[in-house]
Amino acid sequence: MDGGEDRLFLGLDFSTQQIKAEAINDSLQIVNETAVKFDSDLPEFKTHGGVHIHNDNVTVTAPTIMWVKAFDLLLEKMKKDGFPFHKVACISGAGQQHGSVYWKTGTNKILRSLDEKKQLHKQLQNCFSIPDSPVWMDASTTVNCRELEEKVGGPLKLAEITGSRSFERYTGTQIMKISRTRPSEYKDTERISLVSSFAASLFIGDYAPIDLSDGSGMNLLDIRTKKWSPECLQACGSDLSQKLGDPVPSKQVIGNVSQYLISRYNFSPNCKVVAFTGDNPASLAGMAPKLGDVVISLGSSDTVFSWSPSHTAELEGHIFVNPIDSNTYMSLVCFKNGSLTRERIKDESADGSWDKFSEYLKKTPIGNNGNIGIYFDVMEIQPLVQGIFRFNKSDEKVTSFPPEVEVRAVIEGQMIARKMYMEMEMRGMHTGLDTRILATGGASLNKAILQVISDVFGAPVFVSDIPNSAGLGSCYRAKHGLEGCDFSEVVKNHPQPECVAVPTEGAHEVYKEMSLRYRKLEREIANQQ
Ligand code: ADP
Ligand code: XUL
């Protein structure tokens, strides 16, 4: 198994709606893809889009044990399909960013002595002091955000230290909220993990460290020194440095696969595990972008990100330590109303059919005859607004659009916002005909959506065969961490993405004008809230 052509690299993606596994061989060919979807494969947890939105509309959680049960199902499915676990040389993975897991005191002992005859979720069912993990969609911590910023010297100071001002979904303030509202559960918490390090813990049978890249999404890490920031820790909870453990570079080998997995699934005892990271950092690795490329990820969230050489502090957008090279950075902007909003409009206006949705996009004109829609089904991140807003060409509010206008309005509104915030928040990033936009995530399968992106961004759009770049990036990161070589060496056979859309003539002028209107309308909405 050691070395040679036959070995495999396994990449996991613990995302919002599902967990997915990809496996590649040494030539980077995909040899396995398996997924477990939370809503449909685990209906007993009654999630919608993998989460529970609470009655206050701002608290959003997922049952931690559901993720463990999904892990059981995923490996059982792969075993049933004859997946050769013994050939896996190294594993890495990704998790939805910012979400947190609270392990009860004493759980580490349980993790280290798991019974191979029993499913994991049966052994861990009483092991979480907070059974429902807050996830990235949560927006319930505004007061904690203001407090954290105030305690460290203001939002810009916090951004200088951690790469971001305070955002509701960031883990530090989520921890602060729990430490205040549930002090005894907080006290009974031995370890706090991110979703990524939680997932890695299931593989090594021990608490796994948080990696520097996903750790940058907590408002707790000093991204300059790559250590926890003492003042941020102090503001968010007592004994926090013990509860978090030391962060490690994202490419670090953190241990071998657990005895439990060796006995139950026939993993090799030599199989290594590389630190898991956030889904966006893992996607960056999976897209193997060049400096100057812009990645747009269209999953449960929509994100726009790129490789960034510096960590200049700004008030908006985010800077993370780069998952491939801890001496560089990645910049990112995130939108909460992504695929689930598109999906709702597909269900309501296009009879639940993506084909019909695409047909509507193709038959409506660029600029939608001046109609603009802003669809924030859940509280957006920027601006912090919830609601559905439609405007006609004279900027008058209207209550509905015909179905085909609604479909174009959601895609144009979303993509105009993606470009506008990219330009405002990603350190002067601009796109043009010589920029490559690399699209990934579930909706990157939809060519009609990609055409709108190309028209709005004024740049060609490229896609790879594999829309799950976080899973693929995890395979690449596993190989990178194991071999310790240059990342460019690992991805030298990475299949070149294909150009699937180029800007339509005249689109640039239409969207230039429309973007100005969109900006004004969005500002008015935000000011009224
Ligand atoms: P995540 O990793 O966040 O769970 P994915 O990147 O797998 O999400 O994307 C899942 C989403 O992809 C679904 O919610 C669905 O709306 C969207 N999707 C799947 N197929 C299409 C399509 N043909 N057109 C547009 N969106 C699609
Ligand atoms: C990024 C973010 C989301 C999650 C879920 O900051 O909150 O993209 O990582 O995908």
Identify which of 13, 40, 96, 300 to mutate to test ligand 1's pocket (most ligand atoms within 8 A of the CB). 300
Distance, in Å, from the CA atom of 95 to the CA atom of 97, rounded to the nearest integer, reads 6
C-alpha distance from residue 331 to each of 303, 366, 422, 436, 522 (Å): 10, 30, 10, 16, 23
Report the chain's terminal Cα–Cα distance, integer Å.
60
Identify which of 339, 440, 472 to mutate to test ligand 1's pocket (most ligand atoms within 8 A of the CB). 339
**How many A from CA of 369 to the centre of ligand 2?**
33
Ligand 1, CB within 6 Å, residue ranges: 15-18, 299-300, 339-340, 342-343, 354, 441-443, 445-446, 449
User: Burial, 497: exposed, middle or buried (Cβ in 10 Å; 0-12, 13-18, 19+)?
Assistant: buried
Distance, in Å, from the CA atom of 393 to the CA atom of 467, rounded to the nearest integer, reads 36
- How does pLDDT run across 439-495, given as a tens digit for each residue? 999 999 999 999 999 999 999 999 988 778 999 999 999 999 999 999 999 999 999
Residue 427 pLDDT greater than 80, yes or no = no
Structure tokens at 65: 């044990």
**How many A from CA of 43 to the centre of ligand 2?**
24
Identify which of 169, 174, 474 to mutate to test ligand 2's pocket (most ligand atoms within 8 A of the CB). 169
C-alpha distance from residue 256 to each of 169, 205, 249 (Å): 32, 9, 17
User: Burial, 386: exposed, middle or buried (Cβ in 10 Å; 0-12, 13-18, 19+)?
Assistant: middle
Query: What are the start-end ranges of the E strands in 111-204?
Result: 128-130, 132-134, 189-194
Output the pTM of the full model. Answer: 0.95
**Of 465, 441, 469, 466, nearest to 453 (Cα)?**
441
Residue 78 pLDDT greater than 70, yes or no = yes
- How does pLDDT run across 123-145, given as a tens digit for each residue? 999 999 999 999 999 999 999 99
**512 CB-near residues (< 8 Å, 6+ apart):** none
DSSP 243-254: HH---B-TT-EE
- Ligand 2 pocket residue status of 16, Cβ below 6 Å: yes
Average pLDDT, the chain: 95
| Nearest atom, ligand 1, residue 279 CA | 2
**200 CB-near residues (< 8 Å, 6+ apart):** 93, 208, 254, 273, 275, 276
**How many A from CA of 439 to the centre of ligand 1?**
12
Sign of CA dihedral 80, 83, 84, 90: negative
Residue 3 pLDDT greater than 50, yes or no = no
Query: Tell me, what's the pLDDT at 75?
Result: 98
Distance, in Å, from the CA atom of 332 to the CA atom of 423, rounded to the nearest integer, reads 11
Query: Within a 10 A sphere around the Cβ of 377, how many other Cβ atoms?
Result: 16
Residue 4 pLDDT greater than 70, yes or no = no
For 18-38, what is the mean pLDDT? 97
Distance, in Å, from the CA atom of 228 to the CA atom of 233, rounded to the nearest integer, reads 7
**How many A from CA of 170 to the centre of ligand 1?**
24
**Residue with the two structure tokens 């009609």:** 448
For 389-405, what is the mean pLDDT? 98
Residue 1 pLDDT greater than 70, yes or no = no
**Of 63, 11, 71, 12, nearest to 36 (Cα)?**
71
Distance, in Å, from the CA atom of 159 to the CA atom of 36, rounded to the nearest integer, reads 36
**How many A from CA of 179 to the centre of ligand 1?**
35
The closest ligand to the CA of 19 turns out to be 1
Composition of the chain by helix, strand, coil, percent to 5: 40, 20, 35
Q: What stretch of H or E contains 314?
A: none
For 182-191, what is the mean pLDDT? 98
Domains of the chain: 4-281 (3.30.420.40), 291-335+434-501 (3.30.420.40), 339-426+512-528 (3.30.420.40)
The three-state secondary structure class of 24 is: strand
Query: Tell me, what's the pLDDT at 185?
Result: 98
- How does pLDDT run across 293-313, given as a tens digit for each residue? 999 999 999 999 998 877 777
Q: Which amino acid is at 240?
A: L
- How does pLDDT run across 38-59, given as a tens digit for each residue? 999 999 999 999 999 999 999 9
| Nearest atom, ligand 2, residue 300 CA | 10
Distance, in Å, from the CA atom of 127 to the CA atom of 490, rounded to the nearest integer, reads 38
Distance, in Å, from the CA atom of 377 to the CA atom of 521, rounded to the nearest integer, reads 17
- The pLDDT confidence band at residue 292, using thresholds 50, 70 and 90, is confident
Distance, in Å, from the CA atom of 222 to the CA atom of 224, rounded to the nearest integer, reads 5
Residue 316 pLDDT greater than 90, yes or no = no
Query: Tell me, what's the pLDDT at 294?
Result: 94
Strand pairing class (294-298; 437-440)? parallel
**How many A from CA of 361 to the centre of ligand 1?**
17
- The pLDDT confidence band at residue 2, using thresholds 50, 70 and 90, is very low
For 409-434, what is the mean pLDDT? 91
**How many A from CA of 301 to the centre of ligand 1?**
10
C-alpha distance from residue 442 to each of 292, 301, 465, 479 (Å): 23, 10, 12, 25
Query: Tell me, what's the pLDDT at 5?
Result: 57
- How does pLDDT run across 195-237, given as a tens digit for each residue? 999 999 999 999 999 999 999 999 999 999 999 999 999 999 9
